[in-house]
Structure 1
Amino acid sequence: MRTDLPPLPAPVRDRAVLPEGYGLPDDDEGLLEWSEVEARLVAAKHYWLGSVRPDGRPHAVPRWGVWVDGRFWYDGSPETRHARNAERRPAVTLTLESGSQAVIVEGDSYATRADAAELGARLSAAFGKYRDDGYAPDADAWSGDDGGGLRVITPRRVLAWFAFPHDVTRFRW
């Protein structure tokens, strides 16, 4: 279980590298700002999580979660396929639903926990976006020794575009 999560530095932004023929601009004009991309990660209600099974086959599953403090936090049973996959191979992808307004997060997923008075309170407030859907965890939901099934994805790379190919942008940490 990872609990030592230092603040992330600001990401380095540049033009993504794609094969010739995709029409990417030759300069940095039109690159997205991290604040624009992060706002979509915060506002989204539905995410897709991709992981790798022990035999190497891919696994994708829709997830609810929250983007708080520069990371994606989600919870559920440690017995789910995606949690077991991430325990074995932490490298995962997280995407939003749209293919034309794309945000693709590549990072590492680890089990963790959250103190109710600090991070737990921020997570509980952020999970409020699911209240009308019947899910509203309290701030202490993730404070036990087992973390209440809480997992966190720390981003390593994000690829995003809202007007392909003009604004295709890569962020790296």
Structure 2
Amino acid sequence: MTGIPTSTRPTFPDGYGLPASTDGLLSWSDVEPRLVAAQHYWLASVRPDGRPHSVPRWGVWVDGRFYYDGAPTTRHTRNVEHNPAITLTLESGTQVVIVEGESHATRADAEDLGARLAEAFTKYHDAGYAPGPGSWAGADGGGLRVIAPHRALAWFSFPADCTRFTFAR
């Protein structure tokens, strides 16, 4: 669990109209439910040669982290194995949530985290994706990866509520 991040006003160039005060900042409890409820996420990573790479992914936000899976041979997995820095964004252009962090391979035991992940992934059952609690318990984690957030940027009514969240590491 990453805990509750601190919130501040981000720094933008002059002309964006951000308020000078912290009045109107979003709370993490306003933002996190959108990460939990989302069906579609975008991951941006960097190829070893420095070129960017974006890919849509299914995944779940559980215990303050984003869990997703994929074969080790996929471009995005090869990218984050080389450089774990990653950006996770939601599809909405009006209610923006951008999470920066690091992606790492992980495993989940079937009784605890695996069961909670399987329950969270039920949002994809209508699409035919239904991993079970033991799907990520093997030595290689079955391709399971976790993004630990470092910071996030969110707004639902730009620029009035534009908020930067910083997570303890």
TM-score tier (shorter): over 0.9
Q: What is the correspondence of 1:10-159 to structure 2 with a 5 Å cutoff?
A: 10-159=4-153
SS at match of 1:135: coil
Q: Alpha carbon RMSD of aligned pairs, Å?
A: 0.6
How many aligned positions are there? Answer: 167
- For structure 1, which runs of at least 5 residues remain unmatched after alignment? 1-6
Kindly report structure 1 stretches of 4+ aligned residues shifted beyond 6 Å. none
CA distance in 2, matches of 1:122, 1:98: 26
Deviation per CA, 1:110-157: give whole Å up to 9, x if none.
Answer: 000100000000000000000001001000000000100000000000
Residues 31 and 97 in structure 2, CA contact (< 8 A), matched pair in contact too? yes
TM-score by length of structure 1 reads 0.95
Identity across the alignment (%): 68
Letter in 1 for 2:79: N
TM-score by length of structure 2 reads 0.98
Residues 110 and 137 in structure 2, CA contact (< 8 A), matched pair in contact too? yes
CA distance in 1, matches of 2:73, 2:30: 35
